[in-house]
Amino acid sequence: MSMGHYSEQTPGFEVTKDWNGADQVVIRSPRGASVRVSLHGGQVISWRSERGEELLFTSSKAIFKPPKPMRGGIPICFPQFGNCGTLEQHGFARNRLWTIDDEAPPLNHTDNNCKASVDLLLKPSEDDLKCWPHCFEFRLRVSLSMDGDLSLVSRVRNVNGKPFSFSFAYHTYLSVSDISEVRIEGLETLDYLDNLSQRERFTEQGDAITFESEVDRVYVGSPSVIAVLDHEKKRTFIVRKEGLPDIVVWNPWDKKSKTMSDFGDEEYKQMLCVDAAAVERAITLKQGEEWTGKLELSAVASTNCSDHLGYPCS
């Protein structure tokens, strides 16, 4: 049993091995919520509510063998999002083995102590430096609050080199009952780049985003809180973010699903990717500078209350 950083009354985390021998960390809250993080990719692969309900989607055809990233959970896209760059799709961070960081510097004091957390660390290998020659340290803190909220805090530092730029996303696969019953609030009237038409820029016209065909968009300059409403499950995901100006919305729909070997033909109905991201404009760090990007996910019971972006109504 290895202990993380938190006060006495909160639980620790345990480290187990997956079937490839890679370490996984399980964090539990006293009320029964849990998070599982794989050190392969620093990837959250499970987030369960107090009732034991899985809140993240993982494909039944997911490949759990390096060097393939696993299709589902929350892969970390760094230092490149998508394929607009010279690196492999979504960069290399999601394909590397991370380590548990026992000496992580503290976050600022707003991060309250009633969270169980684990700190992970990624530094470039010699091979990484050949394809992306920049000295960085990437620290990832994964935390679970007493209420079962999941938070991820990424800190990327330029350790001792010339300035470098990167794009980033928490590629979050949410589990939904039926994609046709889902809507997103908080992105209306925003501009988006449409990856289905050469990243052309459009303005969102709907008063909420609903789904009836393939969607692959980067909503730019998005607010710090958005809501994903699942009518059938009567559940709302609240997505809060800092340091990440964009939201990527992706669902492959039927035709694209059939072309993906690690994704079931009909599974697009049960998932929706809503990624807190920095894609439109790269982040640039000079020597010694550090960038922080935060994501917090909450799952709350939906009510008929209209203001989902304020506090959830009781």
The one-character DSSP state at 276 is E
- pLDDT recorded at residue 11: 45
135: β partners: none
Q: What is the pLDDT of residues 141-161, one digit of tens each?
A: 999 999 999 999 999 999 988
State the chain's mean pLDDT as an integer: 88
pLDDT given at position 4 = 42
115-153 per-residue burial string, b: 16 or more CB within 10 A, e: under 16: bbbbbbbbebeeebeeebebebebbbbbbbbeebbbbbb
Tell me what pLDDT residue 264 has: 83
Low-confidence ranges of the chain (pLDDT < 50): 1-11, 109, 306, 311-314
Query: pTM of this prediction?
Result: 0.90
The whole-number pLDDT of residue 70 equals 82
The token duo for 255 is 């035709």
